[in-house]
Amino acid sequence: MPRSSASRRIRLSESEGSVPDSGGGAAPATEAVPDPRHFWREAFRTVRGETERRVAPLSAEDQVVQSMPDASPAKWHRAHVTWFFEEFLLRRFAPGYKPFDDRFAYLFNSYYVSAGPRHARPQRGMITRPGAAEVTAYRAHIDGAVMALIESTNDLAALAPIVEIGLHHEQQHQELLLTDILHAFSLNATHPAYDPRWRWPNGAKAGTAASVPVAGIHRIGHDGDGFCFDNERPAHEVLLAPVRLSRTLVSNGEWLEFMADGGYATPTLWLSDGFAAVEAQGWSAPGYWRQIDGEWFSMTLGGLRRVDPAAPVCHVSYYEADAFARWAGKHLPSEAEWEVAARAGALADAFGIVWQWTRSAYSPYPGYSVCEGALGEYNGKFMVNQMVLRGSSLATPAGHSRASYRNFFYPTARWQFSGLRLAQFDD
């Protein structure tokens, strides 16, 4: 696998009648395609092919393992995103469509209660059948049916939004496929490499630029015609107190200083729930770090590697990020502060290296509403008890980043490619 997520660069929002979304980090625009059927065929083929490219280094045994309840087997990811197209597109729009296997709806539905009963999430690793080869056949069955539907439909305008959200949904699972297999490999004493050639993407050096001031009334959220998830709308105005955001990400070297200063053993730096997690889970370093003969190593997609002090810190939870900010005498930025600075081009490495924790709780924007039906369960019902991350990571597929994108995880989560940058309020 290349150093980042070097999938073919295609922007899914550039169908006929739409305009590119705004925000740094998104893939360069493709040339306008006069035939929307051709566009959607190529977009579908590209995204579906990227999933298979990412799974290619994995064995059949790799694809079935589930290392914790929050993770899913690679085989399940491949089948779930396929079920999504079958359930929301083919069953509703393809005349005479015959499902590959009616039993798969139970196995590969995730959390869409309105779509029917589901296999329990913590037990996805128990699904040894269908095997990886049969899942490949399932994907081929759906690919053929979707391509035929795009070619034959008389109402492409009705289908396109479902195809589009299905492709963005699959891109999200492409990232999860890598984070989940890395977690599984981290528990293997042989330290297997997903790709021995993998390297951290190059980024800006920590502390090489002054902080960036933001203040005043600004508009955030998605306000264009290109694709966005419903949690990015509606765009609205926010008032920001004067604050300075670091241009660069916090580095491993800075985190080592935090550790050496007793950061993990100082309860006054931590939120109460955060320090309880430290004690319960035995945290003393970022996720996947281990000390060998006095040196720190980290499990990566390339296997076990020495920790590079100059690289951005990764696999830290919100609780750890918050404690580090307090130790540094600073804060985490809010998601609004982050978005304003990113839109201004003022943040180095805003995209493509690590997601960045913010101090913002994941909640609906003013005036937010969900769409009708099962797809309304995509984001809205999770808007409680989670924190927002902004940007994108080295595992995020090309074209899937934008300044308004809102990722979200529980504050204890460490298995994502998550890091941080700091903010400081003027005295």
Instruction: Mention the CATH class of domain 36-186.
Output: mainly alpha
What pLDDT is recorded for position 208? 54
Across the chain, which has 427 residues, the per-10-residue mean pLDDT values are 34 31 37 80 98 98 97 97 96 94 93 84 94 98 98 95 96 98 98 97 72 93 91 96 97 98 98 98 98 98 98 98 98 98 96 98 94 73 93 96 97 98 90
What's the CATH number for 212-425? Answer: 3.90.1580.10
**Domain boundaries, given as residue ranges, for the chain:** 36-186, 212-425
> Residue 305 phi/psi, 5° resolution?
-130, 150
Alpha-carbon distance of 106 to 129, in angstroms, equals 13
Alpha-carbon distance of 397 to 119, in angstroms, equals 28
Alpha-carbon distance of 150 to 36, in angstroms, equals 9
Distinct helix (H) and strand (E) counts, the chain: 10, 10
Alpha-carbon distance of 83 to 64, in angstroms, equals 17
Alpha-carbon distance of 408 to 363, in angstroms, equals 10
- Per DSSP, 89 falls in state I
Cβ–Cβ under 8 Å, residues 41 and 147: yes
What pLDDT is recorded for position 21? 34
Alpha-carbon distance of 317 to 369, in angstroms, equals 29
Alpha-carbon distance of 24 to 236, in angstroms, equals 19
- Per DSSP, 331 falls in state B
Alpha-carbon distance of 319 to 306, in angstroms, equals 24
User: Taking each helix axis from N to C terminus, what angle separates 272-281 and 318-327, rounded to the nearest 10 degrees?
Assistant: 110
What pLDDT is recorded for position 73? 97
Cβ–Cβ under 8 Å, residues 288 and 301: no
Alpha-carbon distance of 164 to 323, in angstroms, equals 39
Cβ–Cβ under 8 Å, residues 244 and 212: yes
